[in-house]
Every structure is written in structure tokens, then in C-alpha cells.
């Protein structure tokens, strides 16, 4: 079974049951574990890493859902 198929099956099942499933995906990355061990966020641990990009994407998606601005837009 391909690696991503479990997550995709869960997404399909939840959608069929009427649940709202967000588009951004958080993958299982070592950076999340290392950041927790260090007591930091992934943005502090590895600011340019994929885990930080995933969290930023999730944050931006949620803020757009609630009519807020993107993180980068606030800094500009």
C-alpha cells in the first residue's frame, strides 16, 4: 500500500461523512520531534524547513477561513 494512502483514505471517509477537511497537510517530519525536544517551535528550530512551511500554510489557511490576513501580509 503506498505511504500516503492511509491519510488519503481518512480524508475521503471524513469528507463522505460530511466533515470539513482542511487542505493543508502536516507530514510526519523529524523536525517536529526535534523542536519539541528543544522546547521550540519548528519556526524557531528550522525556520526555512518544510515543517515550518507546513505550519505557516496551515495557519494561513485557517486565518483565511475566519477572514483574517495571512502571516506574511501582516509583516508587510
Largest CA distance in the chain: 44
- Say what the pTM is: 0.75
**pLDDT tens digits, 34-76:** 999 999 999 999 999 999 999 999 999 999 999 876 666 444 3
Q: Which residue has the cell 477537511?
A: 21
CA proximity to 31, closest of 65, 62, 54, 2: 54
Interacting residues of 27 by C-beta distance below 8 A, sequence separation 6+: 50, 51, 54
Amino acid at each position: 500500500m503506498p505511504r500516503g494512502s492511509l491519510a488519503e483514505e481518512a480524508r475521503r471517509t471524513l469528507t463522505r461523512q460530511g466533515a470539513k477537511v482542511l487542505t493543508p497537510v502536516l507530514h510526519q517530519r523529524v523536525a517536529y520531534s526535534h523542536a519539541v525536544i528543544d522546547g521550540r517551535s519548528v519556526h524557531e528550530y528550522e525556520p526555512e524547513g518544510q515543517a515550518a512551511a507546513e505550519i505557516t500554510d496551515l495557519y494561513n489557511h485557517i486565518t483565511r477561513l475566519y477572514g483574517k490576513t495571512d502571516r506574511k501580509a501582516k509583516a508587510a
